[in-house]
Amino acid sequence: MGNLSIEGLEKSIGYTFKNKSIIMTALTHSSYANEQKARKVICQCNERLEFLGDSVLSLVVSEFIYDRYKDKPEGDLTKIRASVVCSRSLASLANEINLGAYLYLGKGEEETGRSNPKILENAFEALLAAIYLDSNHSKKTVADFLLPLIEKEIVFASQDEMAYDYKTSLQQFIQAIGKDKLSYICVNEYGPDHAKTFEVEARLNSNVIGKGTGKTKREAEQNAAKEALILFDVK
């Protein structure tokens, strides 16, 4: 079961659910639901909510960038949206609200599930759907929760040097030379919550190949990838 009370999550996200069952479903992983069903207990997992939440997320983000960046063409808007609704970004947002601590997981997922990026991504999308449904299909209510979390990522992704460019180039280079296990590790963060600075290392297996800092983890990761490309003399 989730380690913390639902009230703690509600306080964290700034929204109190009228229907507590819907947020319980949003937090229920299929592994937990299957265990309950084996005991003849009716229990729904969050997969249907995840399906809806994916669309709600895309719509809220799309409307925001459409209204904010009136001079950017469709292709740029698509790139911005793709950059901020990717799995890594959503898992990071889930971590910001400590979502993993509230999840209902089966015994097989308890050890690593609360930090599993895919599980966190899916639960975050399910949470958005739960807010949307509980608020009587209010996009504004979802936006009031989501945009303060994701806006800084959108702003960075909208800049001329897109956040994923260096990372994509580095990933392609690593694959081309037959190496494996490229990862980005946040080794430090400091400053007040509204103006944090992040330090990230790009690692190839266990070797540090680049370091970067930034106002978001994504920016720091890009700068670490850029340094790694310089190290490998990749143009």
Question: Catalytic residue numbers?
Answer: 54, 125
pLDDT digits (tens, 9 = 90+) for 69-87: 998 888 889 888 988 887 7
The reported pLDDT for the residue numbered 163 is 46
The number of C-alpha atoms within 13 Å of 232 and in the hemisphere containing its C-beta is 22
Dihedral sign computed on CA atoms, order 29, 34, 40, 46 = positive
pLDDT digits (tens, 9 = 90+) for 24-57: 999 999 999 989 888 888 889 999 999 999 999 9
- Whole-angstrom distance, CA of residue 21 vs CA of residue 27: 10
The reported pLDDT for the residue numbered 62 is 96
pLDDT of 142 > 80? The answer is yes
Say if residues 97 and 9 touch (Cβ distance below 8 Å). yes
pLDDT of 160 > 70? The answer is no
- The domains located in the chain, with CATH, are 6-157 (1.10.1520.10), 164-231 (3.30.160.20)
